[in-house]
Amino acid sequence: MSAGADRAWNARDAILLWLYEMKMQGNGSPVVDVGDVQAAANWAAEPITADEVASATNYLKDQGYIKGSGAFGGGVPRPAITSDGENLVAQGLSVRPGPAQQANTTGVTNTYNVTTNAPTNVAIGSNNFTQTFAPTGEQVESLLAVANALERLLASQEPVDAGRVEALADDVRAAAAEPEQDKNKLMAILSNVIGAVSTAAGSEMGQQVTNLAVGVIQSLG
């Protein structure tokens, strides 16, 4: 899939996450504010454009994840998240069709460069493909920082699934202790972390966890 297509899906996930958080804060039908969307989603790519917002909200409405009246210029200016949209965000899942996968709201697309001495077809994310790497000392420290932040989030009693967050903290610590990593698996764990704290992303502790996890994802390239 092209980087442009990935970005479009990421923007849709980001907008849906923002709408979920706005509803949790008591605003069920907000005017779309790109700056607020990007802040809530920890968007790390080039800013989302008005055309991308229009395209994303049209798609989300067509799929039943949001509702609202369309505007003359395109898009849904005051969307409201539906129960289907809420359920998807609460699970940390993407709106992408096909097998369920974790939402990526950062706008950062990972590019894999594979060097081989023979003709090889590689399907990223397939069951038959594993990309391993040795984490740097800085990456190990960053992973431990994510685990520590998850544990502090639990202690703060923010509204999160405590069992899931505790299990993810254990997963992240175990990953930090591995001398060799499956990059796809580690990315999935970190995406799960971001999804697990989505309901607390507006708090200081939730934001810290999200920022740390996004930072590790970006360091993986």
Are 188 and 159 spatial neighbours (Cβ–Cβ below 8 Å)?
A: no
Matching residue, tokens 């507006």 = 202
pTM here?
A: 0.54
Long-range own/partner contacts, residues 44-47 (CB < 8 A, 24 or more apart): 44/106, 44/107, 44/108, 44/214, 44/218, 45/7, 45/10, 45/106, 45/107, 45/108, 45/109, 46/107
DSSP3 helix / strand / coil % (the chain, rounded to 5):
55, 5, 40
Per-residue pLDDT of the chain (221 residues; tens, 9 = 90+): 678 888 999 999 999 999 999 999 999 999 999 999 999 898 988 899 999 999 999 999 999 999 999 887 789 999 999 999 999 898 888 999 888 888 888 887 644 343 434 333 433 343 344 566 777 888 899 999 999 999 998 888 777 788 888 998 999 999 888 887 777 778 878 888 887 787 676 778 888 888 888 888 888 76
